[in-house]
Amino acid sequence: EPEVTQTPSHQVTQMGQEVILRCVPISNHLYFYWYRQILGQKVEFLVSFYNNEISEKSEIFDDQFSVERPDGSNFTLKIRSTKLEDSAMYFCASSVRNYGYTFGSGTRLTVV
Amino acid sequence: AQKVTQAQTEISVVEKEDVTLDCVYETRDTTYYLFWYKQPPSGELVFLIRRNSFDEQNEISGRYSWNFQKSTSSFNFTITASQVVDSAVYFCALSEPTTSGTYKYIFGTGTRLKVLA
């Protein structure tokens, strides 16, 4: 069964540092997403990406965040200057159509 | 606005008991999808089921069953003869169309299920 792969599984970073979370979506999928889950809370939508541009973003996705599909296979989420409150599990997802995602196993980001 | 409510924060049962996790949703859309995910302690989201709004048939998969009732906007999940391995947080989610034509998921706050041996 095809998988969405996320690396690293756990990242620790200093406050103020830039961090890039990486995802390899399923190869024939066209829609890409990032979600965030602060520890003990619900999963929240950050951004969707289609046709090489952001199609929708939430109010959480401010100027500190950016996404990119640099080479046609990877899909990255960059946080420019991390804050303590960015500590969370970040999930990447992809889909063929605009519903019915496959989620990756997540990257746990800890900002210290 | 779309909303998903999982009123049960935490449920504890003894192994072999049946348990039902409740999910109530709100949506303006006539076409939508509902989902259940399991999140074990390792943290990943494990897909359990997707249901579209036009299919109200109940579904059974092994020890799992789902009861979808549009009249009450509910999509409840029952585990029969629970096992310790069922211990996890379970999330209900609703797809919401966005202005760009894509869909995003609205998740409930989750129900933590503890199955005691």
- Position A98 scores a pLDDT of 65
Q: How confident is the model at residue A87 (pLDDT cuts 50, 70, 90)?
A: very high
The token duo for B47 is 């897909």
- Position A84 scores a pLDDT of 97
Strand partners, B2: none
Tokens 């998740």, residue located: B107
> What gap in Å lies between CA A37 and CA A109, rounded to an integer?
10
Q: How confident is the model at residue B44 (pLDDT cuts 50, 70, 90)?
A: very high
A33 interaction partners in chain B (CB closer than 8 Å): 104
B107 interaction partners in chain A (CB closer than 8 Å): 42-44
Spatial neighbors of A14 by CB under 8 A, at least 6 apart, are A82, A111, A112
For residue A27, the SS3 value is coil
Q: Under an 8 A CB cutoff, do B102 and A48 touch?
A: yes
Span B27-47, mean pLDDT? 93
Amino acid at B6: Q
Q: Under an 8 A CB cutoff, do B44 and A103 touch?
A: yes
> What gap in Å lies between CA B65 and CA B100, rounded to an integer?
34
Residue-wise pLDDT tens digits, A43-80? 999 999 998 999 999 999 999 999 999 887 899 999 99
Does residue B9 surpass a pLDDT of 90?
Answer: yes
Q: Under an 8 A CB cutoff, do B102 and A98 touch?
A: yes
Please provide residue B10's backbone torsions phi and psi, each rounded to the nearest 5 degrees: -150, 140
Does residue B110 surpass a pLDDT of 90?
Answer: yes
- Position A9 scores a pLDDT of 95
- Position A35 scores a pLDDT of 98
Q: What is the distance of C-alpha A3 from the center of its chain?
A: 15
Does residue B59 surpass a pLDDT of 90?
Answer: no
Tokens 């494990």, residue located: B46
